[in-house]
Chains A and B, each alone.
Chain A
Amino acid sequence: MSPIWLYLHFPNLQLNTLFSGNTGSHETLPVVVLDAKKNQVCQRNGSARKLGIQCGMGLATASSLSQQLQVVSYCREVEESQLNVIAETLYQLTSDICFFQPDGLALRIHNMLNLYGGLQPYWNMLREHLTRLHIEYQASTAWSPLAARVMARNQINTISDQRDNIKTALGQCTIDSLDIHNKDKQKLKRVGLHTVADIVALPLKDIARRFDSYLVTYLGRLKGELHHPLPFFHPPEYFYRYLELLYEIEKTDTLIPPVKRLLNELESFLKIRNHTTSELTLTLYQRDHTPLEVTLGSAQCEYRAQSWLKLLSLKFESVTLTAPVYAISIRVDKLQELNPVRQDMFAGKQAQISTLQLRAILEAKLGASAVQQLCYVSEHRPEYSQKQVPLSDTDVDAASVDILPDRPGFLLSEPLPLQEKVTVIRGPERISTGWWDNQQAVRDYFIARNQFGQLLWIFRTPHNYWYQHGLFC
């Protein structure tokens, strides 16, 4: 099968990445992306185009055309990371993806067509995925990645596997649209070659006689006669998304919609891999302040955006922003296999949510230290006979050796001097232990009743001091 490559060119990649609350108002305001080095407008949205703003214009000219012009400075990193996101999405459909930084992707598709039953069904599927990303694109197919690139960048959107169609479409392109040195372009024009069709008609041998090896290699690859080695994309093992906001946000409530967008991306990321995660880190980049990191845990591994959003909105109640937020990012490092909790269908009482989900909800709102589990330690000193462990330590050892039944229900966090008149009901019970760890306790414990009828657990030290240590609730 002859090779077919599909090239996707994203002319307004950074512009499409910007988050705006509702697309309606976003469209009405003219937005341009300005390349600060060249002082040229490099991307513009629909309303900026209507106002007559052209790519390549200076900032002064552009801003004189509109009062409300929103200017964003060009950032190559944003485009590169967004390209990664697109590649990850398309990886579901195609195995071989190559990057053409910063704004293009080449897909080797001829080996995928059998699976999809032809070019047209494949293209429909691809288009569906691209539409969901809300990113403008130009696409074209050709026999080599470079040829497809030239066509896509020239807005010749030809999706075809017929060699003749591709040849005529490619032939229309001018010499200027090729990725070659300006010097070579001039030379080619001087000998009367103006379109790609003119050059492609010449044999490579003849070109090699007059031009340098770079141009020869380029044309050879363009024509598909020379091999073009390309590194293919491998999807990363972790999830990271960065989202820059079109406007700064000062309230955590208004942060929910952009975060939701990222969580939806996380959901599809996890869903494809059949994975879940127990922890995610949300970073809020604050203007002139250190970024705020919010770590969110869920004891029951989750992948659904809905569940994470619920936990997050609870967490946001206790988060205070020191400065407006201009960008957010979500990072997930640990992935687990999806392991659904099974419930007995015939069990009498069905829980709405599982125990682990309940813990996650409680921890998100009250903080991890507020939710604890009780754990017994075989020890005679009452203050050491139990531990309250955070829930992350799941292996609570409940092996009860010998439990004494006559112990109070409530223990004071530390013994208090006894300050009231009591009647002793039972005692003494001597506890003398701990000589080995410098926390020696020699105590005679009594059960006593005070004037209100409360049952107290009190003890006497060898020096005849009396303390209250518990309450029989």
Chain B
Amino acid sequence: MNSLLSYLKNKQLVWHGSHQCAAMPDTSRSGYPELDNALHGGLPEQGVIDICSITGIGECRLLLPHIAHQQQQHKRLLTFIAPPYRINAELLLAQGIDLKQTLMIYPDSPEHALWAAEQCLASGSCCTVMLWHQALTIHQVKRLQLAARKGESLQILFRPEQQQQSLPVTLGLQLQPHSNGLNARISKQKGGWPGEFFSINMRTRWPWLYQRPQPDNLLHFPRSRAS
């Protein structure tokens, strides 16, 4: 029996539940306990993270602690490629990101944006590359994956919400706004399963952006009309 098992194992016909962990990429804490729980660890340190959301709900702020940590640890470049608006230096500084180690790239076409992303990833001198792109195809993402593996870097893709196409990424996240932060769903995870929507509390980190919930024992003072 035992020899049969080892024979099957050598032929790679038996799937081991424990092997799954070995294949998992290195992760580090995202700074949001809910997200870490859902991901069974944290955000990957290299590979491709795909964020599907509308702009301006907190999609960058969700990843900023992770990005800042990566940059401080590896002292490598953080690259922004084709952001839809100007990136505010104050926010990056407030998060402890070294501006000397950032690069802004404004390519004139989406093809050039992809080219720049691939170059940055493969160079090995960037730790994180953030790319805003409207329409990505599977083979383009595969190329980015290979480049990220070569340069041991992390690619973060920001895609509009309408794009529901599944891409071969290390981690896929779908984000929706929530009064307390974000509603997130893991649409794809290497070595994991897609899950349901869960809420991420961003109030602790960014208290000024979210309203305090109204206490239920509050009574509005009735205004009487002077007549």
Query: Once the chains bind, are A407 and B177 in contact (CB under 8 Å)?
Result: no
A130 at the interface (CB under 8 A from B): no
Residues of B within 8 A of A (CB): 54-61, 74, 76-77, 83-94, 98-100, 102-108, 112, 115-116, 119-120, 122-126, 150-152, 176-178, 206, 208-211
Residue A447 is within 8 A (CB to CB) of chain B in the complex: yes
Interface residues of A (CB under 8 A from B): 348-355, 357-359, 361-362, 365-366, 369-376, 382, 385-386, 388, 396, 398, 400, 403-413, 425-426, 447, 449, 452-456, 470-473
Residues in A neighbouring B126, C-beta threshold 8 A: 358
Flag if B177 contacts A374 (CB, 8 Å).
no
Write the chain B residue with the least CB distance to A361.
B119
- Measured between beta carbons, the chain B residues less than 8 angstroms from A348 are 74
Bound CA–CA A305/B55 (angstroms)? 45
Do A355 and B77 touch across chains, with their CB atoms under 8 A apart?
A: yes
Closest Cβ of chain B: how far from A59's Cβ, in Å?
A: 52
How far does the alpha carbon of A452 sit from the alpha carbon of B115 in the complex, in Å? Answer: 33
Greatest chain B CB density within 10 A among A386, A452, A453 is at: A453
- By a CB distance below 8 angstroms, the chain B residues around A405 are 94, 208
Contact B125 A376 (CB under 8 A): no
- Which chain A positions have C-beta within 8 A of B107? 366, 370
Q: Which of B57, B84, B90, B103 contacts A453 (CB 8 A)?
A: B57
**Of B99, B119, B178, B210, which contacts A362 at CB under 8 A?**
B119
CB distance from B58 to the nearest CB of A (A): 7
Residues of B within 8 A of A374 (CB): 87, 89, 92, 99, 102, 104
User: When the two chains form their complex, are residues A373 and B116 in contact, meaning their CB atoms are under 8 A apart?
Assistant: no
Contacts of A369 in B (CB 8 A): 106
Contact A454 B115 (CB under 8 A): no
| Docked-complex contact A396 and B56, CB < 8 angstroms | no
Smallest CB separation, B179 vs chain A (Å): 8
CB pair B116–A398 under 8 Å, yes or no, is no
Inter-chain contact B124/A352, CB cutoff 8 Å: yes
Nearest chain B residue, comparing its CB with the CB of A450: B56
Residues of A within 8 A of B176 (CB): 453
CA distance A435 to B209 in the complex (A): 30
Report the 8 A-B pairs with minimum CB-CB distance, sorted nearest first. Answer: A453-B177, A471-B56, A410-B85, A351-B124, A386-B89, A454-B56, A376-B89, A351-B125
